[in-house]
């Protein structure tokens, strides 16, 4: 018995001896060394940033990638004279002395961790700082990363941007390994797919001298990049629509009506993703992605719904006519057509191309508000499309008591849609009733090229519309471009179908102009592309003009390199 | 004189040594709470925990330890449920805690003691030499072991293994049984590598080479060693530690509290602290030696080994002798659950001692 009890005690003796010997080694033999390290507090961790994956377009052309950059940082503990150093720095970098001082004097959890003062220094700034190094103890120029957005402003809303993690975000993202000062996706794809894009941070641990300068590297961890994201966006189309929209306030979105893949999306005004600060206080809401977050009355684009409702419910036939005299009186209100002298006797085949308000108002009264709203919601108005971008708005479908049939039938009054919802609407018409969920990310690929996740088209629902109705509608939409209100979108070689929408703003009397919509698809008989153009403070025919120019460059090959190959193939087929 | 000292200390019971350790723990936590992170709260919270644990201890003292044998299955059932619950409800990251108002309950701490009680209760009436008994014993430890491993809490899982071997050894398992089980465990350990989470593998690799990950656990270990080493022979003095105060060590008040102690009290302090722990262990061995009841003997052995393993692994890991795992230093580390379990264990041992004397 005695011996058995001894076992545990003897084992303890053995372990304790080892521990005491180790302590003797650390605390007595190596004492001077560790004492020295501890006295000078001279171990520093330097992180080299979190590398992010590349964002590619559908043809694997990069849209966003990391690039090396030099940042200005400081170690709170190593600062000697914050006042003076802030003064010197404010003369070199364009930053207020008080602002620098505020950063210097803030309480940091770990006073040995580097804190960023300014990212992406210019060459001049770097050389000036290097010159002043001796009077700037605790301040360093550090190698790091910056996000390079190849198309800059043209993809700002789509890709979003990265920015220093905020305190609220830190609380949530802490468990994912984020720390103060880390960069994190703040909007767009960068935000939604942050988990995939984010890599593993690298860094070194160094021993530093009294001035905080690096003396010896004690350990190193290599960074590894995150996953790459491949978008459905086509860089060429994105550039074309960006150029055609120019600096006008508005947006353009392009989708493949056969599967819901977004090919391009641009909104103006935009911002420089690497220079957010400058845009924070600008007017025109530069951070607003109008394509998914802007809500507007659809105007005459809604006549597509009115027409479908009227034909499907059998309220009118193809050749039923209504006389437009330029105005009608309902109750004690006068309702005007946009054409003062009126369109005369029109049937549905002429009313849509001419966008006759009297015709649609009349049939709208016949079908009633409830039916039109029913069809509108069937086509997905009033709910989000489900695109993989943050902050999409659902628009607003009014209650049937809130709106009168005259206003609703021409898309005026308290009904709001996002441009993306109209894009989805014309796509559904183009493909004959399929509502595809719009999406932007096609696949996610690991740094070594393995496919991690693939996103395929998702059919949200199928809307059944009779063939006759579809045929009448499609013919009408073609005629809108052929000889109607959208004729500025007409192309020589390719037939375009679309619908204009001019929205009177509530405050028109105050001198505010109109909004212009043009939603279209092409080629009209086998649609490959659907597009919505929205212009703030402009007419719908201007919108149609922009759409026409963009479609021409996208679909007519000789103007455009990337589609040439495709057409050559087609030509070859013809030869054989 | 040494003899006198020996006689004096030998008479002191397990409660005396535990109180002494608790006192040291409060002192060092007070010092640690003065750092740049100003965790004043931890000191007061720990004091509150000591009061709660003492009250609980007074009540448990009144319970005859033999009653534990009866309620062991119930306790075991409850703790298994809690361990499963923590996997689902646990605060994110490593799911170890269940939040209860301002306090966090850590069921894995209680699981250690309850497993000791259950295994002791079972083997008190069964012959470990029989194969089915051995299998049931394996299951009793295996369930909490796997649940804790899943959390994932490598350190605590390892404690279960140590407890298992100690109790079956004390229960009279044959040398062949022990060696066979040991070899089986050793053989299956490569498979463990594959079920480990990446961060656990990373920890083991970091232990083998701290410079591998200078930003994470390696950083802790380097700083931990500097902290201990800079204490020297006599230490920097109470409340005068610099390494811990400046928060070089993020976890200096919990798993790395030993560093704070070694920094302020030096090599001499470490020897005294380990000496007190040693006397504490001896006072438990004393109880094991004198008790005639099998359940009491197994129970006290399990508790003894639980404490020894904690102290050895915790101090060892701070100086790079073991991988860094989440094991607290009994009586000293900040943490209510751990403190509670330590005090209850001590009370049980004291209870056994009193009942033994009455025989």
Tell me: do A214 and A270 sit in the same domain.
no
Look over chain A and give the mean of its residue pLDDT values, rounded to a whole number: 85
Other beta carbons within 10 angstroms of residue A567's beta carbon come to 14
Residues A186 and A262 in one domain: no
User: B196 or B55, which is more confident?
Assistant: B55
Give the minimum alpha-carbon distance from A368 to chain B in angstroms, rounded to a whole number: 53
Query: Hunting for tokens 């209510």 — which residue is that?
Result: B336
Residue A531, beta-bridge partner list: A254, A520
Residues A477 and A377 in one domain: yes
Q: Please tell me if residue A182 touches chain B, with a CB cutoff of 8 Å.
A: no
Same domain, A389 and A518: yes
Nearest CA of chain B to the CA of A410: how many Å?
52
Domain count, chain A: 2
Considering the domain architecture, whether residues A222 and A259 belong to the same structural domain is answered as no
- C-alpha angle A168-A172-A178 in degrees, rounded to nearest 5: 95
Q: Does the distance separating the beta carbons of A39 and B228 come in below 8 Å?
A: no
Q: Is residue A280 scored above 50 in pLDDT?
A: yes
Task: Give me A154's structure tokens.
Answer: 């043209």
Residue A82 lies in a domain: yes
- Closest-CA distance, A45 to chain B, in angstroms, reads 7
Is pLDDT above 90 for A430?
Answer: yes
- Residues of chain B found within 8 Å of residue A20, distances taken between Cβ atoms: 270-271, 274
One domain for residues A303 and A211 = no
For residue B194, the model assigns a pLDDT of 72
Place of tokens 């055609």: A244
For residue A370, is it within any domain?
yes
- Sort out which chain A residues have CB atoms less than 8 A from B168's CB and list them: none
Q: Is a pLDDT exceeding 80 seen at residue A210?
A: no
A422 CB contacts (<8 Å, ≥6 apart)? A298, A301, A501, A517, A519, A532
Residue A33 lies in a domain: no
Task: Determine contact, residues B279/B9, Cβ cutoff 8 Å.
Answer: yes
| Residue B55 C-alpha, separation from nearest chain A C-alpha, in angstroms | 31
pLDDT value for A568: 42
Q: Do A220 and B222 touch (CB under 8 A)?
A: no
User: How far away is chain B from the Cα of A166, in angstroms, using its nearest Cα?
Assistant: 20
Length of chain A as a residue count: 576
| CATH code where residue A189 lies | 3.90.1310.10
Q: How many angstroms separate the Cα of A373 from the Cα of each of A309, A367, A425, A465, A476?
A: 9, 10, 14, 16, 22
Task: Please say whether the beta carbons of A5 and B288 come within 8 A.
Answer: yes
Closest CA to B94 of B49, B33, B22, B148: B148
Residues B60-105 have pLDDT tens digits of 888 888 888 899 999 999 999 988 888 877 544 445 666 665 567 7
Is residue A35, in this structure, part of any structural domain at all? no
Residue A499, phi then psi, degrees to nearest 5: -145, 135
Encode pLDDT of A357-366 as tens digits: 899 999 999 9
Answer for the pair A138, A85: CB distance below 8 angstroms, yes or no: yes
Chain A residues touching residue B244 (CB < 8 angstroms): none
User: In this complex, do A34 and B304 lie within 8 Å of one another by their Cβ atoms?
Assistant: no
- Upper half-sphere CA count for residue A75 (Cβ side, 13 Å): 22
Residue A166 in this model has a pLDDT that exceeds 90: no
Instruction: Grade residue B28 by pLDDT with cuts at 50, 70 and 90.
Output: confident
Residue A464 covered by a domain? yes
A45 and chain B: CB distance < 8 Å anywhere?
yes
Same domain, A302 and A162: no
The pLDDT of residue A515 is 87
Contact A27 B301 (CB under 8 A): no
Residue A418 pLDDT > 90, yes or no?
yes
Token code pair at residue A203: 């860094």
User: Residue A27 gets which letter from DSSP?
Assistant: I
Cβ–Cβ gap B213/A221 under 8 Å: yes
Chain A residues close to B215, C-beta within 8 Å:
45, 47, 201, 203, 205, 221
The answer to whether B326 touches B338, Cβ cutoff 8 Å, is no
Q: Taking CB atoms and an 8 Å limit, are B215 and A43 in contact across chains?
A: no
The owner of tokens 């201890």 is B57
At residue B359, the pLDDT reads 44
Would you call B247 and A110 a contact, using CB atoms and an 8 Å cutoff?
yes
The mean-pLDDT minimum among A59-68, A92-101, A377-386, A466-475 falls in A92-101
Is the pLDDT at B152 greater than 90? The verdict is no
Residue A38 in any domain: the answer is no
Cβ of A219 within 8 Å of Cβ of B212? The answer is: yes
For residue A418, which of A294, A538, A505 has the smallest C-alpha distance?
A: A294
Q: Assess whether A366 and A407 both reside in one domain.
A: yes
Instruction: Select from A26, A43, A175 the Cβ nearest to the Cβ of B223.
Output: A43
Band (pLDDT 50/70/90 cuts) for residue B35 is: low
% of chain A surpassing 90 pLDDT: 39
**Mean per-residue pLDDT, A294-301:** 91
| B210 against A202, higher pLDDT | A202
- Sheet containing strand A497-503, edge to edge, reads A262-268, A250-255, A529-535, A515-522, A497-503
pLDDT greater than 80 at residue A211: no
How high is the pLDDT of residue A572?
40
Q: With contacts defined as CB-CB under 8 Å, which chain B residues touch A42? A: none
| E strand or H helix at B109 | helix B107-125
Per-residue pLDDT reduced to its tens digit, A105-118: 877 766 777 788 88
In the listed set A208, A231, A254, which residue is the last one of a domain according to the structure? A231
Sign of CA dihedral A447, A451, A455, A457: positive
Closest Cα of chain B to A175: distance in Å? 6
Whether residue A112 is found in the same domain as residue A240 = no
Query: Is the alpha carbon torsion for A403, A405, A407, A411 positive or negative?
Result: positive
- Compare all CA atoms of chain B with the CA of A26 and give the residue at the minimum distance: B229
**Residue A146 β-bridge partners:** A67
| C-alpha distance from B73 to closest chain A C-alpha (Å) | 28
CATH of the domain at A484: 3.40.710.10
Whether B119 contacts B138, CB under 8 Å = no
Residue located via tokens 């005369």: A344
Q: Which of A16, A175, A205 sits opposite B274 (nearest CB)?
A: A16
Is A22 within the bounds of a domain? no
Nearest to A354 by CA among A244, A479, A473, A265: A479
Residue B341 has pLDDT above 90, yes or no: yes
Do residues A120 and A54 both lie within one domain? yes
- Provide mean pLDDT across the span B106-131: 91
- The Cα–Cα gap between A512 and A296 comes to 14
- Measured on CA atoms in the order B257, B263, B265, B266, is the torsion positive or negative? positive
Contacts of B168 (CB under 8 A, 6+ apart): B123, B128, B134, B137, B177, B178
> ipTM surpassing 0.85, yes or no?
yes
Residue A376: domain span: 235-278+296-445+453-575
Of A210, A231, A252, the domain-final residue? A231
Q: Do A255 and A215 belong together in one domain?
A: no
Tell me what the mean pLDDT of segment B111-120 comes to. 94
- φ/ψ of A333, rounded to 5, equals -110, 145
* Token pair listed for B254: 């919990």
CA–CA separation, B197 and A36 (whole Å)? 37
Indicate whether A399 belongs to any domain: yes
Closest A-chain CA to B223:
A43
Interface A-B, measured as beta-carbon pairs within 8 A, has a size of 137
Helices A82-92 and A123-132: crossing angle in degrees, nearest 10, is: 150
Contact B233/A31 with Cβ under 8 angstroms?
yes
Please indicate, yes or no, whether residues A393 and A538 belong to a single structural domain of this protein.
Answer: yes
Provide, as residue numbers in chain A, all residues whose Cβ is less than 8 Å from the Cβ of B285: 5, 8-9
**Structure pTM?**
0.67
Note whether B214 contacts A39, CB cutoff 8 Å: no
Can you give the three-state secondary structure of A141-181, one letter per residue? EEEEEEEEECCHHHHHHHHCCEEECCHHHHHHHHHHCCCCC
């Amino acid at each position: 018995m005695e011996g058995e009890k001894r076992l545990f005690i003897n084992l303890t003796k053995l372990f304790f001896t080892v521990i005491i010997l180790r302590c003797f080694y650390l605390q007595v033999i190596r004492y001077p060394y560790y004492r020295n390290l501890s006295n000078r507090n001279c171990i520093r961790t330097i992180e080299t940033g979190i590398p992010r994956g590349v964002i590619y377009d559908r043809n694997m052309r990069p849209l966003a990638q990391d690039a090396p950059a030099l940042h200005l940082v400081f170690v709170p503990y190593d600062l000697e004279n914050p006042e003076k150093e802030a003064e010197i720095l404010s003369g070199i970098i364009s930053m207020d002395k008080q602002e620098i001082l505020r950063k210097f004097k803030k309480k940091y959890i770990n006073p040995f961790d580097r804190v960023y003062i300014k990212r992406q220094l210019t060459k001049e700034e770097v050389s000036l700082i290097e010159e002043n190094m001796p009077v700037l103890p605790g301040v360093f120029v550090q190698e790091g990363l910056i996000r390079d957005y190849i198309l800059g402003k043209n993809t700002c809303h789509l890709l979003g941007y990265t920015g220093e993690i905020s305190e609220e975000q830190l609380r949530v993202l802490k468990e994912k390994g984020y720390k103060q000062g880390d960069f994190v996706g703040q909007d767009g794809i960068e935000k939604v797919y942050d988990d995939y894009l984010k890599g593993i941070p690298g860094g070194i641990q160094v021993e530093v001298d009294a001035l905080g300068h690096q003396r010896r590297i004690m350990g190193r961890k290599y960074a590894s990049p995150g996953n790459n994201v491949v978008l459905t966006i086509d860089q060429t189309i994105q550039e074309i629509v960006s150029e055609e929209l120019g600096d006008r306030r508005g947006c353009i979105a392009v989708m493949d009506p056969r599967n819901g893949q977004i090919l391009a999306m641009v909104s103006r005004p935009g911002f420089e993703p690497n220079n957010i600060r400058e845009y924070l206080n600008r007017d025109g809401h530069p951070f607003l992605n109008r394509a998914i977050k802007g809500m507007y009355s659809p105007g005459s684009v809604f006549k597509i719904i009115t027409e479908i409702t009227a034909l499907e419910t059998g309220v009118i036939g193809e050749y039923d006519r209504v006389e437009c005299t330029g105005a009608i009186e309902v109750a004690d209100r006068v309702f005007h057509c946009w054409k003062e002298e009126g369109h005369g006797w029109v049937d549905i085949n002429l009313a849509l191309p001419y966008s006759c308000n009297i015709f649609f108002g009349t049939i709208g009264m016949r079908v009633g508000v409830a039916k039109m709203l029913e069809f509108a919601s069937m086509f997905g108005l009033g709910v989000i499309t489900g695109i993989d971008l943050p902050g999409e708005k659902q628009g607003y479908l009014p209650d049937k008591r809130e709106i009168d049939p005259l206003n609703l039938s021409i898309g005026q009054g308290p009904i709001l849609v996002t441009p993306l919802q109209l894009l989805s609407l014309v796509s559904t018409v183009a493909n004959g009733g399929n509502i595809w969920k719009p999406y932007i990310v096609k696949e996610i690929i690991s740094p070594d090229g393995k496919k991690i996740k693939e996103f395929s088209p998702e059919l949200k629902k199928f809307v059944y519309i009779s063939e006759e109705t579809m045929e009448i509608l499609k013919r009408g939409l073609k005629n809108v471009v052929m000889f109607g209100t959208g004729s500025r979108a007409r192309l020589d070689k390719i037939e375009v179908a679309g619908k204009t929408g001019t929205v009177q703003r509530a405050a028109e009397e105050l001198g505010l102009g109109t909004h212009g919509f043009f939603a279209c698809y092409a080629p009209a008989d086998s649609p490959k592309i659907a597009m919505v153009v929205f212009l703030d403070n402009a007419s719908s025919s201007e919108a149609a003009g922009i759409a026409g120019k963009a479609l021409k460059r996208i679909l007519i090959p000789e103007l455009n390199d990337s589609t040439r190959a495709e057409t050559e193939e087609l030509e070859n087929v013809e030869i054989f | 004189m040494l003899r006198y000292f020996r006689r004096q200390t030998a008479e002191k019971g397990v409660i005396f040594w535990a109180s002494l350790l608790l006192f040291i723990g409060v002192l060092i936590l007070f010092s640690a709470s003065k750092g740049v992170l100003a965790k004043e709260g931890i000191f007061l919270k720990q004091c509150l925990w000591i009061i709660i644990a003492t009250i609980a201890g007074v009540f448990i003292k009144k319970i005859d330890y033999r009653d534990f044998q009866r309620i062991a299955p119930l306790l075991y059932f409850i703790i298994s449920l809690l361990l499963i619950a923590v996997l689902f409800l646990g605060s994110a990251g490593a799911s170890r805690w269940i939040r209860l108002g301002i306090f966090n309950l850590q069921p894995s701490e209680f699981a250690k003691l309850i497993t000791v009680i259950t295994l002791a209760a079972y083997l008190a009436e069964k012959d470990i030499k029989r194969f089915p008994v051995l299998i049931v014993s394996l299951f009793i430890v295996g369930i909490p072991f796997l649940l804790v491993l899943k959390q994932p809490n490598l350190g605590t899982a390892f404690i279960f293994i140590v407890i298992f071997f100690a109790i079956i050894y004390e229960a009279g398992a044959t040398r062949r049984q022990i060696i066979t089980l040991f070899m089986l465990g050793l053989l299956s350990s490569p498979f463990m590598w594959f079920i480990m989470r990446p961060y656990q593998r990373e920890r083991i690799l970091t232990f083998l080479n701290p410079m591998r990950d200078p930003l994470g656990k390696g950083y802790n270990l380097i700083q931990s060693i500097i902290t201990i080493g800079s204490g020297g022979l006599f230490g920097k003095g109470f409340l005068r530690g610099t390494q811990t105060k400046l928060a070089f060590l993020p976890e200096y008040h919990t798993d790395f509290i030993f560093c704070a102690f070694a920094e302020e009290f030096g090599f001499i302090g470490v020897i005294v602290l380990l000496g007190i722990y040693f006397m504490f262990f001896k006072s438990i061995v004393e109880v094991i030696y004198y008790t005639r009841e099998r359940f009491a003997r197994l129970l006290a052995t399990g508790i003894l080994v639980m404490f020894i393993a904690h102290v050895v692994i915790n101090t060892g890991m701070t100086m790079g002798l073991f991988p860094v795992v989440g094991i607290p230093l009994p009586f000293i580390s900040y943490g209510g659950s751990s403190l509670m379990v330590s005090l209850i264990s001590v009370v049980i041992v004291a209870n056994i001692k009193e009942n033994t004397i009455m025989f």
